[in-house]
Amino acid sequence: MYLEENFSLKELTTIKVGGRAKFYIEPSSLEELKNSIEFSQKLDIPLFILGKGSNTIFGNIGGLVVNTRRLKGISIREKDNEVLVECLCGTPLKSIIKLSLKEKLKDFYKLLGFPASVGGAVAMNAGAFGVEISNFLDEVYFILTNPVMTFNNYYILNF
């Protein structure tokens, strides 16, 4: 896990504007992500989750910024004649779009052009050309503290 203090955030945003974070972490696993959350709780400091930094501006932050860019991974499986894609929050959305074209998954390609990670796209329910990412979600896994909790997106995320 990468950890730095008094970290400049401006290079992490698409518009290259930003202050500094008291602490900055790039976890490489879900366990490290959990540890990052616990770290912010122990120090009683604010926690900010950062994906690809699209449409984001930071001032100086007296808390912890967790960048999810190292949390990447995609797996595919079939269930009841459907193709299910599971991925981590730091996976670039364009990686899923490339996969959807290869696997001939209907309409997902319409989300091409969002400079987002999967986590960011889900958080904002990215949409274009009549489709939204929520149209393709079955479940979203949230790490709150402990344990990992699973929620159905339509009821909890209010899409």
pLDDT tens for residues 49-105? 999 988 888 899 889 999 999 999 999 888 888 888 899 999 999 999 999 888 888
Return the number of other C-beta atoms located less than 10 Å from residue 93's C-beta.
26
Give the range of the structural domain holding residue 43, as residue numbers without chain letter: 2-67
Q: Return the CATH number at 48.
A: 3.30.43.10
Is the whole model's pTM more than 0.75, yes or no? yes
Nearest to 119, CA basis, from 57, 45, 53, 46: 53
Last residue of a domain, one of 44, 67, 90: 67
Residue spans of alpha helices (H) in the chain: 30-43, 93-103, 118-124, 153-156
Rg over alpha carbons for the chain, rounded to the nearest Å, is 16
Q: Is the pLDDT of residue 145 over 70?
A: no
The answer to whether residues 79 and 9 belong to one domain is no
Last residue of a domain, one of 67, 94, 109: 67
**Coil, helix or strand for 51?**
coil
Cβ-in-10-Å burial (0-12, 13-18, 19+) of 139 comes to exposed
Nearest to 137, CA basis, from 69, 75, 101, 86: 86
Q: Return the CATH number at 137.
A: 3.30.465.10
